[in-house]
């Protein structure tokens, strides 16, 4: 999964706009081909902010 960060306090509607744009870009053919060349798949590697946040929180909880 590719991740991205925003400042704490960023309005949810702005996060949604950014997330939708980034997911759309990550599903573009050029990026999809890059993922495939790296042995990854767009289906498993592209995630919106909800999934990314969940993954980070789970990893953090395991680390501390």
pLDDT tens-digit map of 8-58: 999 999 999 998 898 888 889 998 898 889 888 777 777 777 887 888 889
Show me where the domains of the chain are located.
Answer: 12-63
Q: Which of 3, 10, 18, 17 is nearest to 57 (CA)?
A: 3
Task: Name the residue with tokens 């702005």.
Answer: 14
> How far, in Å, CA of 64 to CA of 44, rounded?
26
pLDDT for 62 equals 94
Q: Which of 22, 29, 30, 28 is nearest to 1 (CA)?
A: 22
> How far, in Å, CA of 40 to CA of 36, rounded?
5
Confidence (pTM): 0.63
């Amino acid at each position: 999964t590719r991740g991205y960060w925003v400042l704490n306090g960023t309005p949810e509607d702005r996060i949604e706009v950014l997330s939708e744009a980034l997911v759309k870009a990550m599903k573009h053919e050029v990026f999809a081909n890059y993922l495939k060349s790296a042995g990854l798949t767009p289906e498993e590697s592209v995630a919106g902010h909800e999934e990314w946040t969940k993954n980070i929180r789970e990893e953090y909880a395991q680390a501390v």
